Amino acid sequence: MSHPTKFGDRRGSIAAAVTVVLLLVGGALVGKAYSGTQSPPQPPAAQSAPSSAASASSSPGTTLSPSSSATTSTPASTSEFGPIMPPSSPISLAIPSIGVNTKGIVDLKLDKNGKLEAPQDFQKAGWYANGPTPGEFGPAVIGAHVDSKSGPAVFYRLGSLKKGAQVSVVRKDGSTARFVIDRVARYPKNAFPTATVYGDTNGRAELRLITCGGAFDQSTGHYVDNIVAFAHLIR
Amino acid sequence: MRTTTKIATVALGSAALLPFLGAGIAQAADGNTTATLRPVALNGVKANGTAMVTVSGTRIDVTMAASGLLAGSPHAAHIHFGADARHECPVAGDDAKGDGTINTTDGGPAYGPIVVSLTKTGDTSPKSGLAVDRFDTAPGGKISYERGSINVSSDVAQAITEGKAVVVVHGVDHNDNGKYDGETKSDLDPSLPTEATDPAICGVLNAAPAGGMDTGAGGTSTPNNEGMLLLGGGLLIAAVGSGAFTARKARNRV
């Protein structure tokens, strides 16, 4: 048992006061950080690995003269394709694991620069209507906002989507296209892997879910990254 | 001295031009394109499909899936392009003879001549356009086609990346008797019935969207959040420390 000294007492009460201040300020800061809306979940940024398709395509490799029109070097392969559905426009989208259940999917088109336009309505998802319909062979593309100016939008939680999660798209013909998530990645918009996202799907009917991510650039009014979820059709 | 300056100027000039030349070539050469194949007007085929063409310089890789075609019969499939064509699929108004169907001649103004024959083996030039023994026969009405490293001219490569080329799968069983027949002969080859060469499904190879999407207005973004959270968390941890110190002091006093 140590003898309580005056000095010790004072030290104790100073410590107590410091504790109270620290608790108040720290708690307030944490509270403020979590108050209102939380930042949308982010998948890790994609490694700077370019798409295999892109790197393969950019290799000079076979340099036959451009004028030698239509000769062949590789025989056709008759590989087995995955399940494919006939075309039908999407009308609703459900992703139970992240609470997405959106109806009234709008058609999206390209702007004059060839860029895919986002839906006007923050609470609606859009489908790239010039591409394959969800369930058809190829990459069907559905995009939606992560947030509006005031709060979360349809794809707010897309970044927290996990591999294996189920996605279902109800289509105009009454059928449902069921997909399974393969991976979720985040790419800087200035290094967007076009070939990986919109290119050949190797014999499968696939789906791309796209929203925004990363930091918000106040000067442009846009997020700097895109979050892309890759999924394929299951039987 | 003057010569040196001249050489330097020329060298500098061409060095400055090089990046532009490079950029121009790269832009024209590479791209991913997709065509959604839909029934050709008037021909009444209930088939559909998708074709994807990846352009790498003057080399193209093609994959295509289609279903609903006449089963067990050869389906000639091509990439078409003509500088004077409309770069689209034929419409009912293209039926020049007014016979109620679209044949290959009717399709010409819309999509132009054959530039690549999508054969399964061997030559892929326009010469193989009607090599019926080397095209997919669509077992069960389905085509699953994959062929890489087809070489094309730079004009054709550019037309594809610019969305001016059209994929057409031919073969229409107008009278629904399960085979190509009938009195009318093909415009392309009189030894074949027109059913064997009439366009069944068609789609323009559209360039993939450029880049990503702008899908957020920032309402939930809080750029300073992390800093705030870190500082607050740090202070709370410090509070635990000083709290423990206080408690020990208090305990000591008892």
pLDDT digits (tens, 9 = 90+) for B137-184: 999 999 999 999 999 999 999 999 999 999 999 999 999 999 999 999
Read off the pLDDT band of B228 (50, 70, 90): low
Give domain status of residue A112, yes or no. Answer: yes
Nearest by CB to residue B239, choosing from A23, A151, A203, is A23
Between A19-28, A95-104, B152-161, the lowest mean confidence (pLDDT) is in A19-28
Asked if B212's CB is within 8 angstroms of A39's CB, the reply is no
Rounded to whole angstroms, what are the CA distances from B101 to B37, B106, B107, B166, B204?
Answer: 18, 9, 10, 19, 20
Q: Which domains does chain B have, with CATH numbers?
A: 27-207 (2.60.40.200)
In angstroms, the CA B128 to CA A203 distance is 25
Confidence bin at B227 (pLDDT 50/70/90): low
Task: Indicate the pLDDT class of residue A234, thresholds 50, 70 and 90.
Answer: very high
On whether residue A41 sits in a domain, the answer given is no
- B245 pLDDT tier (thresholds 50, 70, 90): low
Residue A7 has pLDDT above 90, yes or no: no
Q: What is the pLDDT of residues A109-141, one digit of tens each?
A: 999 999 999 999 999 999 999 999 999 999 999
Residue B241 has pLDDT above 80, yes or no: no
DSSP single-letter state for residue B92: G
> pLDDT category, A50, cuts 50, 70, 90?
very low
Of A26, A130, A198, the CB nearest to B239: A26
Beta carbons of B232 and A4 less than 8 Å apart: no
Mean pLDDT of chain B: 87
- Whether the Cβ atoms of residue A22 and residue B238 lie closer than 8 Å to each other: yes
Confidence grade of residue A14 (pLDDT, cut at 50, 70, 90): confident
pLDDT digits (tens, 9 = 90+) for B104-115: 999 999 999 999
Asked, for residue A196, whether it belongs to a domain, the answer is yes
- Nearest CB to B211 within list A27, A189, A215: A189
Under 8 Å between Cβ of B32 and B207:
yes
Whole-number percent of chain B with pLDDT over 70: 78
Name the residue among B90, B125, B123 with its Cα closest to residue B109: B90
Residue-level pLDDT at A17: 75
Task: Say which of A26, A150, A210 has its CB closest to residue B212.
Answer: A210
Q: Reduced to 3 states, what is the DSSP secondary structure of residue A93?
A: strand
Instruction: Tell if the CB–CB gap between B208 and A199 is shorter than 8 Å.
Output: yes
Beta strands in B111-213 (DSSP E): 114-117, 143-151, 166-170, 199-204, 206-207
Which among A10, A19, A197 is the top mutation candidate for probing chain B, defined by the most B β-carbons within 10 Å of its own β-carbon? A19
E strands, B21-126, are: 31-39, 48-56, 59-67, 77-80, 114-117
ipTM over 0.90: no
User: What one-character-per-residue DSSP string does A176-201 give?
Assistant: EEEEEEEEEEEEEGGG--HHHHHS--
The total domain count for chain A is 1
pLDDT, position A47 = 54
pLDDT band at A212; cut points 50, 70, 90: very high
Other beta carbons less than 10 A from residue B209's beta carbon: 27
H helices of chain A, in order, are 6-34, 52-58, 194-198
Q: Is residue A140 part of a domain?
A: yes
Is the Cβ pair B232, A31 closer than 8 Å?
yes
Task: Tell me how far apart the alpha carbons of residues B230 and A143 are, in angstroms, rounded to a whole number.
Answer: 33
Q: How far apart are CA B166 and CA B53, in angstroms?
A: 11
Would you tell me how many other CB atoms lie within 10 Å of the CB of residue B21? 10
**B99 vs A161, B50, B94, B218, CA distance in Å?**
55, 29, 11, 58
Q: Name which of A231, A227, A46 is nearest A153 in CA terms.
A: A227
- Taking the CA of residue A93 and the nearest CA in chain B, the distance in Å comes to 17
The answer to whether residue A24 sits within a structural domain is no
For residue A2, what is the nearest residue in chain B, using CA coordinates? B252
Distances (CA, A) of A67 to A157, B58, B59, B125, B166: 51, 9, 12, 12, 21
Contacts of A64 in chain B (CB under 8 A): 58, 151
Of the listed ranges B18-27, B45-54, B125-134, the one predicted with least confidence = B18-27
Q: In terms of DSSP H, where are the helices of chain B?
A: 2-29, 104-111, 154-161, 194-197, 225-253
Residue that is written with structure tokens 């959106």 in the block: A102
Cα B6 to Cα B9: distance, rounded to the nearest angstrom: 5
Least confident of A7-16, A19-28, A143-152, B59-68: A7-16
Which residue type sits at A4?
P
Residue A52, domain member (yes or no): no
Apex A193 CA angle, A191 and A194, nearest 5 = 115
CB contact under 8 Å between A199 and B242, yes or no, is: no
Q: Which of A55, A64, A69 to mutate to test the interface with B (most CBs of B within 10 A)?
A: A69
Q: Which residues of A touch B54 (CB under 8 A)?
A: 53, 57, 195, 199-200
How far apart CA A208 and CA A179 sit, in angstroms, is: 10
Question: Which residue of B220, B229, B230 to mutate against A (max A Cβ within 10 Å)?
Answer: B220
Domain that holds residue A165: 80-233
Residue A58 has pLDDT above 50, yes or no: no
Q: Is residue A149 part of a domain?
A: yes
Assess whether pLDDT exceeds 70 at residue B254. no
Find which of A57, A63, A158 to mutate to test the B interface (most B CBs within 10 Å of its CB).
A57
The domain that holds A110 is classified in CATH as 2.40.260.10
Residue labelled with tokens 């073969």: B171
Closest CA to B129 of A75, A69, A79: A69
Distance from the Cα of B186 to chain A's closest Cα (Å) equals 24
> What is residue B25's predicted lDDT score, i.e. its pLDDT?
43
Is residue A37 domain-resident? Answer: no
